[in-house]
A and B are shown apart, each in its own frame.
Chain A
Amino acid sequence: MQFCLDTAGTYYLRNSIVRGVHMNKQLTWKVGGAQGEGIDSTGEILATTLNRIGYYIFAYRHFMSLIKGGHTNYKIRISSEPVRYHGDDLQVLVAFDQLSINENLREMNADGVIIYDDKFQAELPEGSAVRLCPVPLTGIAKELGNVIIKNMVAAGASCRLLNLELQPFFEVVEEKFGSKGKDLIERNIKAIQQGYDYMKEHFADEMFQLPTAPQVDRPHLLMTGNEAVGLGALLAGCRFLAAYPITPATEILYWLLENMPNYGGKIVQAEDEIAACIMAIGANYAGVRAMTSTSGPGFSLMMEALGLAGISETPLVIVDVMRGGPSTGLPTKTEQSDINQATYGSHGEMPRIVLAPTTIEECFYYMIDAFNLAERYQCPVIVTSDLYLGMSKQSVDDLDMSRVVIDRGAVVTQEELDQRGQKTYPRYAVTESGISPRPFPGMPHGRFCALSNEHDDTGLEIEDTDGRVAQMDKRFRKLDTFNGGEHVSYKGPEQPDVVLVGFGSTTAQIAEAFAELSSTYSIGHLQIGCVYPFPTEAVRKILAHTKQIFVIENNKTGQLAQMLQQNVGMVDKVEAILKYNGNPFTVRDITTTVRG
């Protein structure tokens, strides 16, 4: 049985509305407006400042596939403890237009506050207890000579509402605009100050009290999943990237463009994703760790190349930052609907590995794993991230450098080749493990032909039955020693009645739902970080005595649920909680369904 959630419910009010100063363990803040109005920069300035003074933040961008207009917003959850999700509720909304109020009111808490630009008359539905604070965001900005700095006025007003000190904001502004001249810095600082003063003067009793910021001697890392992928790739020794721009994967390209050339790495903006993927295959064949990054539409174009890497046993790393499909689908919205394609895509059959990092930190660690696995097993490794993981920004405590280990797998040495002294090398020798050492072009006595046809050990095409079967079996034998179970995490009792199962980016919401439900249920949380080869043993062990399994995934057809049923069985115990409206799960989406 499967059922879907309709999250388009009405906003609801809480009974007790407390006016004045609110004490909060954590707080959610959002700014909304039309695209092109500086929404992101308002969010960025707040996120950066809060992270710098020691808070843990998680920032989620909601945007549209257009340059001007529409509705876009930037939400930040602020806490004194690590957070990985932007939260179900909303306490503070900064609205640049009425649309932002309409779009976000249902998320707002009853004790919420809306700061809005007084150039329009804000309207709330009857009975709404949310408080309104009109602030001349545009007015002040205009007086300062530039409408666009209304975002700084908004930041200043928010600063006051959250009872924060101004100085750290000023410092961030100074750094951000340092190269653009004193004038601009001063104007931005004034805008922040005046937004702050206006709030203080007109809405003195509106204030949220954040918990004390944790003491830090240096800021946490503030990074997106895409940046973590880029950093992971670079430290993993990736020195070639070919990619074609596509939301939400482009930031991987940006980050590597900025950083990889410093280490001798090369980057090509390819003419399309077919070329991008095949260039990466060519570079890997030539001995350079290489990857391509893309999203669904580009990944579809790579299907033939996937098979080429498979049969030619060329290592390959593909990062697919998933978005709403099919086709162009929802280019700016999140979804987890490509794992079937990652697992089964391309004609014919070949070994491959599909990893699904579950956190921003794992985006980093899994890239190191991906390159090692690709070279160890000489096969394609697909890393499926998604828009939510890729583009959200999070305070990360630290990354463990000791986990950066480079294992290039079976590579034949020049001495070995010289000792053989032959003209060609049996690159595709049928070995017991299925893995056969590879030389790199340029090495004397290592000649072979990599090819897309079925072949003999040196790379001559063959069609004889025995040779074909031997090579197929050899290729598939390679993964016998691979253990996807290392990428599975479980929290909860040893024999839970109920288990929440997810893969990839849904970790945080499931973890919060799990924490909430733990007091009433014997419940566990299983998060799968490798969807192929399916970690059947590890999963079966955890689920052995379970009465009910909820599989939570951002797609329409329950792709993980089906994989689970196919590999582990338990068909009658599996229920899928599915969401495919473009938004990430809320905690409530999960808890209400489990409670039934």
Chain B
Amino acid sequence: MAKVIDFKYDKPTWCPGCGDYTVLAAMQQACVGLGLEPEQVCCVSGIGCAGKIAQHFGGYGFHSLHGRSIPTATGIKLANQELVVIAAGGDGDGYGIGLGHSLHAMRRNIDITYIVMDNHIYGLTTGKLSPNSQKGFKTKTSPKGSAEDPIRPVEMAIVTGSSFVAQAFSGNVKQMVSIFEQGIKHKGFSLINVFSPCVTFNKVNTYDWFKEHIVNMDEDESFDPTNRMDALRRVHEVESVCTGVIYREERPAFHETMLGASETAGVHLDLDLAEEEMQSLIDQFRR
């Protein structure tokens, strides 16, 4: 049985207090909790402070391009469905430059878990506006306050077809671990948006701010996360500032229904074809 230390690699370089530390810790704990071995898990990240997570996760890693963790993770999962694939990155990565990929992965229901460390700002590029920044938010690139409305990831994911949608908070590790475990276990696309404060550049959406505003849906026994309309209504009521499993449904994953779906993972296929097989492929053209 693997231990948390087996899922660690080198020391992260985030600012002290950065929300991303507990996200990494929760990922490691969730993997241990699920009885996974490091080699079974592949963490794929984009570029940004959050994106560095793949380097420090003790499983296999792919620290890909800005906004491209999802297509990278898609290729990996379809090549070897036996792997547990976790994509991860910042809000700019997933909802700015990479938004298109996020939506398509949701509707395809690729069996990966996508953890977005949402700090409402671009951290690595030193405090620039993010598509998740609140209206009026002042940054170096929005000196007079943002004139744009923010993306609402949870609602977007529900209507786009993500079959598991949850939100967590770096300040509540216990709940985050539980959500990660559920998300990883879930078959299909899991979007887990994590409020992960940037202590250096975002002086508005701080730990205290989130603590003050967050509504924890997991604690609401009347809430039914399998009811799509209900989920949308409740998220809307709290202006998306909530945590917990918001929506889930059972749907076959893409690798099970796509053309060429097979029990054998691509990586285990025998590539050498028998001579007669090759000949019959060639002979197709004798038409």
Contact = CB atoms under 8 A, between A and B. Distances in A.
B47 A406 contact: no
Given A280-B75, A282-B44, A460-B55, A267 B271 contact: no
Nearest to A417: B39
Contact of B271 (A239, A271, A401, A458): A239
B60 A223 contact: no
B127 interface: no
A274 interface: yes
A305 to B, nearest CB: 7
B282 interface: yes
Interface residue SS majority, chain A: mixed
Contact of A240 (B9, B52, B79): B79
Contacts of B281: 231, 234-235, 259
B63 interface: yes
A282 B286 contact: no
Contacts of B58: 423, 447
Interface string A250-265: 0000000101110111
A280 B55 CA distance: 21
B271 A441 contact: no
Contact of B71 (A220, A227, A279, A453): A279
B1 interface: no
A13 interface: no
Interface in B36-82: 37-40, 42, 44, 47, 52, 54-55, 58-65, 68, 70-76, 78-80, 82
A558 to B, nearest CB: 33
Interface stretch (A191-199, A203-211, A286-294): A286-294
A476 interface: no
Contact of A219 (B79, B267, B287): B287
B78 A444 contact: no
Contacts of A240: 75, 78-79, 266
A546 interface: no
A149 to B, nearest CB: 21
B79 A221 contact: no
Contact of B79 (A270, A282, A304): A282
B268 to A, nearest CB: 9
A218 interface: yes
A323 interface: no
B260 interface: yes
Contacts of B62: 282, 285, 312, 449-451
B68 A290 contact: no
Nearest to A220: B286
Contacts of A460: 10, 55
Given A264-B264, A275-B104, A283 B271 contact: no
A285 B286 contact: no
Nearest to B52: A461
A304 B272 CA distance: 33
A101 B74 CA distance: 51
A266 B68 CA distance: 20
Given A275-B101, A279-B74, A286-B80, A263 B269 contact: yes
Interface in A444-466: 444-453, 458-461
Interface of A: 48, 51-52, 218-223, 227, 231, 234-235, 237, 239-240, 242, 257, 259-261, 263-268, 270-272, 274-276, 278-290, 304-305, 308, 312, 396, 398-399, 401, 404, 406, 423-424, 440-453, 458-461
8 contacts: A52-B287, A227-B285, A283-B79, A423-B6, A441-B39, A442-B80, A447-B61, A451-B64
Given A261-B259, A286-B266, 7 more contacts: A220-B286, A242-B75, A270-B104, A276-B71, A285-B75, A440-B80, A449-B9
Please provide the 3 A-B residue pairs with the shortest distance between their CB atoms, ordered closest to farther.
Answer: A282-B75, A449-B61, A237-B271
Interface of B: 6, 9-10, 37-40, 42, 44, 47, 52, 54-55, 58-65, 68, 70-76, 78-80, 82-83, 100-101, 104, 255, 258-262, 264, 266-267, 269, 271-273, 275, 278-279, 281-282, 285-287
